Amino acid sequence: MDDLRIRAASPADLDAVLAFWKVAAEGTSISDDRAGVERLVARDPEALILAETAAGALAGTVIAGFDGWRCHLYRLAVHPDHRRRGVGAALLAAAEERFADLGGRRADAMVLDRNALAHHAWRAARYAPQPEWSRWVKPLEGREG
């Protein structure tokens, strides 16, 4: 999309982002709530990247997290009405530029195994699964977010 605007999210965007993920993102996470996203933006104001149309509608998101060592991509989501128009590619380009500016050398992405549509998008962006690794998780009981 030629008229796409890429920018970092602000605290004022968070309710719209959470509503957007319910429409455009596949699956949910324990931290997909207002408190979790507020902590993300407070800790790293440039990590949550938005794509907006010329009319100001949210077309896509990606979280480009950098912990000082590794570059992690989460929540690449494009609104169904804007898919296959370069929104995801523009978001990934912005995330990769952010990582390069921070000194990152390799990006990894969280992609649901069952999300075949996403697999095509990630492969088109030259990402590939790393079969020797699995993600191990543990919810932190008694903690908010």
Q: 111: domain CATH number?
A: 3.40.630.30
Chain centre to alpha carbon of residue 60: 8
Residue at 136 is within a domain: no
Residue at 31 is within a domain: yes
**Contact status, residue 91 vs residue 48, Cβ threshold 8 Å:** no
Tally of structural domains, the chain: 1
Residue at 13 is within a domain: yes
The tokens describing 15, both together, are: 């309710």
Task: Please give the angle made by the CA atoms of 69, 78 and 86, to the nearest 5 degrees.
Answer: 90
* Global pTM value: 0.91
Residue at 40 is within a domain: yes
Distance CA 80, CA 60 (A): 9
Residue at 57 is within a domain: yes
Residue at 76 is within a domain: yes
Expressed as residue numbers, the domain containing 94 is 5-124
Spatial CB neighbours of 90, under 8 Å, sequence gap ≥ 6: 1, 4, 6, 51, 60
Residue at 70 is within a domain: yes
Which residue shows structure tokens 């699956």?
27
Residue at 144 is within a domain: no
Distance CA 94, CA 28 (A): 23
Q: List per-residue pLDDT tens for the chain, 145 residues long.
A: 679 999 999 999 999 999 999 999 876 677 788 999 999 999 999 999 999 999 999 999 999 999 999 999 999 999 999 999 999 999 999 999 999 999 999 999 988 888 888 899 999 999 999 988 888 888 887 655 4
